[in-house]
Chain A
């Protein structure tokens, strides 16, 4: 190995030295755990429909149940273990959203209910809310403009 002089050389060297995450294994676990969570959601949805709820209400019910379960598992210190194993598989579904709100709420309880739980609850999920809502507003405006010119997009 030659002497490392510049920052660029060092960065390249470090990139070579640093092991990558096991991508194939991670993708595989994310795929099947994510699929399993979605299947559970679908199952709840179908049961609700079978019980006579319409599609919209059934969707809401299955979201609520999945959020409830992952909040509960977060409280039991189990969701982080699932997340460590499944990665995006448990983060991307609504379960991850629930976990990202409950975990800071638990973490910052020591700073009190107002400045701790209340203000820190959205430190992780906040950006998702801000940009998710912003994006939906922009899409809504675009839809409104085109829709008035009687071009049906959706």
Chain B
């Protein structure tokens, strides 16, 4: 493992993504990717009394599922990373309190999943661990409650707003295995271009994604055509267009192979999700369900996954602060 260029980590001994698991809510279950997810919920409560409890159950079950699917006994998993959007990351810590695996709670807003993947790969490559688990979750209802308005309030959402994905994704990184491999990671810088509109997260986060993608290409010497797919986390339709156009100004054409998990997750016209999906679970479930499947099938051989996060909370928005964005990229190859 070594640092190359300005901010990229090169894994000398590529780490294997052993297995993934994904659970999504009812709206996602009606979306175009439904068949790729392991478990589809029929309602947002999933038998729990509160949305927060339902979200904890999501991450708990996703983690249990990935352990079962991987066939590795839980006591051979050395560490775990998890995070979510609720205050103090309670979904993860409450959901995983009975897991009995040393735990790191992480917060990268919606970039948490790839943040966990990078940290897990570093742990396994360094020899500090053999198997590391990571996951992330979000829940539409608990996120609306914390960041916006009560669900029953009769207001209108602007066209730029995004729909928080209900779901959880989890995966296990192992130092042994035969791929898909984590080969490079480019952790991102905090980028704030002064966007204050909390209903336009895609635009707030897009500059961070552009910055990380540019750094990744510069550090690795690769260019967009190297990858079968370049996928951002949750920029939605507006953020996706911004990334394409901004990268164009730097001489990179990504039109052919670039997409966004928030765009892939929902059918914009039929599902009334406006600019697309968002939330920690957006990137987590689309990777764990759809992308991992494509890697296993061999349809994609090299992908660059860039999870994006908006590092704000409701207080900072009310105080008129702009929204700092972050994006972490990870290169996964078969």
Q: Is the CB of A1 within 8 A of B159?
A: no
Known: A99-B152, A99-B153, A103-B149. 17 other contacts (CB 8 A): A1-B249, A4-B246, A10-B195, A10-B207, A14-B200, A17-B203, A74-B152, A74-B154, A77-B152, A80-B152, A84-B155, A84-B156, A87-B155, A99-B154, A103-B154, A106-B150, A110-B52
Assess A1 versus B242: contact at CB under 8 Å? Given A14-B203, A21-B158, A102-B152.
no
Q: Is the CB of B194 within 8 A of A17?
A: no
Q: Is the CB of A104 within 8 A of B150?
A: yes
Q: Which residues of B contact A11 (CB under 8 A)?
A: 193-195
How many residue pairs link A and B with beta carbons under 8 A? The number is 95
Give A residues with C-beta under 8 Å from B. Answer: 1-4, 7-8, 10-11, 13-14, 17-21, 26, 74-75, 77, 79-84, 86-87, 90-91, 96, 99-100, 102-104, 106-108, 110, 124
A83 to chain B, nearest CB (A): 2
Cross-chain contact of B154 among A17, A18, A75, A84 (Cβ < 8 A)? A84
Interface residues on B, range: 20 to 34
The CA-CA distance from A82 to B156 in the complex, in Å, is 10
In the complex, which residue of chain A has the Cβ closest to the Cβ of B51? A110
The CA-CA distance from A99 to B245 in the complex, in Å, is 42
Q: Is the CB of A18 within 8 A of B149?
A: no
Q: Which residues of A contact B158 (CB under 8 A)?
A: 21
Assess A17 versus B242: contact at CB under 8 Å? Given A3-B249, A96-B154.
yes
Q: Which residues of B contact A10 (CB under 8 A)?
A: 193-195, 207
Q: Which residues of B contact A13 (CB under 8 A)?
A: 242
Q: What mask results when residues 190 to 230 of chain B are scored 1 for a CB within 8 Å of chain A, else 0?
A: 00011100001001000100000000000000000000000
The CA-CA distance from A81 to B152 in the complex, in Å, is 9
Q: Is the CB of A110 within 8 A of B49?
A: yes
Q: Which residues of B contact A18 (CB under 8 A)?
A: 159-160, 200, 203, 238
In the complex, which residue of chain B has the Cβ closest to the Cβ of A76? B152
Q: Which residues of B contact A96 (CB under 8 A)?
A: 154
Among B149-198, those with CB < 8 Å from A are 149-160, 193-195
The CA-CA distance from A14 to B200 in the complex, in Å, is 9
The CA-CA distance from A127 to B203 in the complex, in Å, is 30
In the complex, which residue of chain A has the Cβ closest to the Cβ of B196? A11
The CA-CA distance from A51 to B278 in the complex, in Å, is 55
The CA-CA distance from A10 to B246 in the complex, in Å, is 10
